[in-house]
Amino acid sequence: MLNFIGELQKRSPLIRLESFGKSEEGRSLPLMILSDSPISNPRDARATGKPIVFIMANIHAGEVEGKEAMLHLSRRILFGDLKPLLGKLIILIAPIYNADGNEKIDVNNRSAQNGPIAGVGVRENSKGYDLNRDYIKLDSPEARALINLCNRWDPHLTVDLHTTNGSYHGYHLTYSQPLNPNTSAAILSYHRDKMLPAITRAMLKNHNFRSYYYGNFPRFTNLPTPGEKTRWEAFTHQPRIGQNYHGLRNRLTILSEAYSYLTFKRRVEVTESFVEEIFKYAAANALEILQLTKRADDETVSGFSSNKTIEQGVEFEMRPLPKPVDILIGEVVKVKNPRSGKDMTAMVEDKFKPVRMDDYGIFAAKRSVVAPRAYIFKPEKNLEGVIEKLVQHGIAVEELTAPLQTEVDVFTIANATRAQRAFQNHREMKITGTYQKESMTFPAGTIIVRTAQPLGRLVCYLLEAESDDGLVDWNFFDSYLEAGKTFPVYKIMQTVNTASRLISNDAR
């Protein structure tokens, strides 16, 4: 792959290669920068006034074809029919995000996938972390490098390329968008009401590929039996996965899932076509995308600093779209992989049938809390990890330069529950409790995190006591979590007038 990129570089001045970090095993993580004038840093990219579109492939290194598709697509952008795109977009491509996982290629990995028959890599990084569950806790050097890339380049649109081996549906590719209800409403509706329908139509019209929102039937690969009432279910609202994380950062993002039972060649084709249509859409709607993301940032800042009550969900549920939809049910057959001797599952491309059912494609908050103007906590030894994570996420963190006496909402823990089973080397924590108002005095040096910043929605998700995917959940507060104790992060609900200074750079 690096040889291929090297050959592109020899033949074109319009591509630059940088490394955005190192994998756990020390491999360089390549980032291709494609633009019609040489761009070496984010400031120059911003100055062009073009949207920055970021494509990442191989986060799950058994789901490989995004990497091949992006090499082929890069060649067309630099030398072929797609060259005009560079007049409208800055294109960033990380073709092999999980570089270590890719090297563990074996015919026994994802053996039911319909090729490549010589094998694929593994899902996890070399320490066993699933990089698409690591967006909040940032345990892996790969995830920290990726978020640093997001802080530096701040892409307007991110596309994450996968392969799905879920239910036997009739689509060549399924996709998803941010699903967390705490996301900007304008960002959520732009995906569902405008961008994704347009790309779906273009996929069918220009490439004859069927695509729809990612989902599964409840019994997964089992097809519904005749007459059975079934439904189509989206995955999760949690920002530990990329699509939801980028949404909370007020940015557009598309998850792409080529169908695992298509042949490898067809998966390369459908993934390439999908990204091509995303690029064409972004190029045709460049100004709108720039304005939408800017407005989402501005509204986050003004909303959290206004007198309006802004609620943030802490418990969520999946809900159906207002009307049932036709979901395509597909057919598969078994094909022997001559290298592994194992059965692969193969899509019968032309056999599909629409069945009307509810599409549980959206999430809603079941319970919400009121967002504060700021979170405030003492810089105790056990909270250094919290400060470190906030800074890694690109959040502006400040410290008081003078004492502050203020009324705060104090959360008293009624229950602290640790998950029975380990997940991603953690045992997730949940706390419940109640708030009461207290007047407190905080000395100089106390940490204060204001919500009136572009990443304000992410601030709430990370620091809310009852957040279902925040820093409590991922064990950053464990030493404080006991029934009867107070949670060490307090909420300031009114305007904060105090002297403070930044201890992190606001990345934007």
List, as one string, the DSSP characters of 417-449: EE-SS-BTTB--EEEEEEEEEEEEEE-TT-EEE
Q: How many helices (H) and strands (E) does the chain have?
A: 12, 20
Q: Which stretch binds Zn ion (CB under 5 A): 14-22, 161-169, 436-444, 479-487?
A: 161-169
**Residue 89 in tokens:** 């977009």
Rounded-to-integer distance, Cα 391 and Cα 134, Å: 16
Q: Identify which of 73, 96, 103, 132 has the alpha carbon closest to the alpha carbon of residue 19.
A: 96
Contact assessment for residue 175 and residue 275, using Cβ atoms and an 8 Å cutoff: no
> Which residues have C-beta within 8 Å of that of residue 85, sequence separation ≥ 6?
77, 91, 279, 280, 283
| Count of all residues that appear for the chain in the document | 508
In the complex, least distance from residue 212 CB atom to Zn ion, rounded to whole angstroms: 17
Question: Going along 95-236, which residue ranges are E strands?
Answer: 157-164, 173-176, 211-213, 231-233
Measured from the CB atom, is 63 or 154 closer to Zn ion? 63
Measured from the CB atom, is 112 or 198 closer to Zn ion? 112
Q: Which stretch binds Zn ion (CB under 5 A): 44-52, 60-68, 407-415, 418-426?
A: 60-68
In the complex, least distance from residue 223 CB atom to Zn ion, rounded to whole angstroms: 22
Measured from the CB atom, is 56 or 410 closer to Zn ion? 56
In the complex, least distance from residue 241 CB atom to Zn ion, rounded to whole angstroms: 9
| Sole residue written with tokens 């990329």 | 242
Which amino acid is present at 73? L
Strand 231-233 and strand 343-360: the pairing is parallel
Binders in 234-293 for Zn ion, by CB under 5 A: none
Total residues contacting Zn ion by CB under 5 A comes to: 3
**Residue 213 in tokens:** 């929102």
Measured from the CB atom, is 162 or 491 closer to Zn ion? 162
In the complex, least distance from residue 193 CB atom to Zn ion, rounded to whole angstroms: 26
**Binding flags for Zn ion, 93-132, as an x/- string (CB under 5 A):** ----------------------------------------
Pick the binder of Zn ion from 133, 162, 389, 491 (CB under 5 A). Answer: 162
In the complex, least distance from residue 60 CB atom to Zn ion, rounded to whole angstroms: 4
Measured from the CB atom, is 67 or 389 closer to Zn ion? 67
Measured from the CB atom, is 69 or 462 closer to Zn ion? 69
Q: Which residues are paired to 422 by β-bridges?
A: none
Asked if 60 interacts with Zn ion (CB under 5 A), we say yes
Q: Which stretch binds Zn ion (CB under 5 A): 59-67, 275-283, 305-313, 339-347?
A: 59-67
Measured from the CB atom, is 160 or 358 closer to Zn ion? 160
> Which residues have C-beta within 8 Å of that of residue 351, sequence separation ≥ 6?
170, 330, 331
Asked if 207 interacts with Zn ion (CB under 5 A), we say no
Measured from the CB atom, is 60 or 373 closer to Zn ion? 60
Q: Which residues are paired to 311 by β-bridges?
A: 370
Q: Which stretch binds Zn ion (CB under 5 A): 47-55, 62-70, 170-178, 473-481?
A: 62-70
**H-type alpha helices, 12-64:** 42-47
In the complex, least distance from residue 461 CB atom to Zn ion, rounded to whole angstroms: 22
Contact assessment for residue 140 and residue 129, using Cβ atoms and an 8 Å cutoff: yes
Measured from the CB atom, is 184 or 243 closer to Zn ion? 243
In the complex, least distance from residue 161 CB atom to Zn ion, rounded to whole angstroms: 9
In the complex, least distance from residue 123 CB atom to Zn ion, rounded to whole angstroms: 7
| Sole residue written with tokens 């779209």 | 321
Binding residues (CB under 5 A) for Zn ion: these are 60, 63, 162
